[in-house]
Amino acid sequence: MQKIYSRPLSLKDTSTHYCPGCGHGIAHRLVCEVIDELGIRERVIAIAPVGCAVIAYDYWDFDVSEAAHGRAMAVATGIKRMRPENIVFTYQGDGDLAAIGTAETIHTANRGENITVIFINNAVYGMTGGQMAPTTLLGQKTATTPGGRTPELYGYPLKISEMLAVLPGVKYIERVSLHSPPEVLKAKRAITQAFKNQMDGVGFSLVEIIAACPTYWGMSPQKAQQWIPEGMLKEFPLGRIK
C-alpha cells in the first residue's frame, strides 16, 4: 500500500515565497518532520537569518527569533545559555553564516555551544540579487563576478565545514544535499542526528545542506538539480566530516 505523507504539525499550511526549484522549502519540511518525530516541538526555539529564509517564521509553527545579519549563532548562544532546557537551532545561508557571520560562526563553534546549526549552501547571495558568496565556485558567474570567480581577485570557495571540523569544540559536522530523493533522506538523517546531539548534551553540531538556487544560477529547476552533482559536489563533497 502506498504511504500518504501528511503535512508535519510544525509546518504551517501556507503558500511559499521561494522560487521554483529552491531548496529552502525541502529543508524547511525536513526540519519540521524531524522536530515532530523527536517530540520536541514545544521545546524548540529557532533563530531565523537575514537572507531568503528571513521569514521562516511564516512557515514554522514553533517559536522563532529573528537575528541581525550574521548574528544568529550569537543570539542562539544567549538563548541556550539562559534556557538550557530548550532545543535551540539556527537556520542560515552561506552569506549569513560564512560571510558577515564568520566571526560568530567560528567562536560559537570553538566554544562548543550545545546548539544545532542548519547551514544552507547554494553558493550565491539569493535575497539581495545574486552576488558572489564565500562559497561561490571558481568560474561561477554572479552579479558581482560576471566573468566568473577567479582566485586572483576573489580567493577560493570557503569550505566552512572543513574549517570548523578542526576545532575541538565541534562534535558533529555532516554535508548533505537535496538534489535527489535518496539524498533528501540522508539529509533528514543528518538533521535528526544533529538535534539528538543537542538533546544528549553532546555539543556543537552543524549540517551543511547543498541546495539549488535556479534563479541566480540562471538555470531551470531541473538543470539546477543536475548541476549540484556536476558542479557543486566536486568542490563540496558529501559525507560526515566530523
pLDDT digits (tens, 9 = 90+) for 116-149: 999 999 999 988 888 999 999 999 999 999 999 9
pLDDT above 50 for 109:
yes
Cell numbers that stand for 14 in this block = 501556507
pLDDT digits (tens, 9 = 90+) for 74-95: 999 999 999 999 999 999 999 9
- Residue 224: pLDDT band with limits 50, 70, 90: very high
- Residue 202: pLDDT band with limits 50, 70, 90: very high
Cell numbers that stand for 159 in this block = 569550505
pLDDT above 50 for 30:
yes
Per-domain boundaries in the chain: 24-240
**Contact status, residue 146 vs residue 193, Cβ threshold 8 Å:** no
4-18, 129-143, 150-164, range with the lowest pLDDT: 4-18
CATH number of 24-240: 3.40.50.970
Which pLDDT value is given to residue 130?
Answer: 83
**Contact status, residue 208 vs residue 185, Cβ threshold 8 Å:** no
**If we measure between CA atoms, which residue out of 214, 201, 241 comes closest to residue 119?**
241
**Contact status, residue 235 vs residue 137, Cβ threshold 8 Å:** yes
For the chain, percent of residues with pLDDT exceeding 70 = 98
Averaged pLDDT of the chain: 95
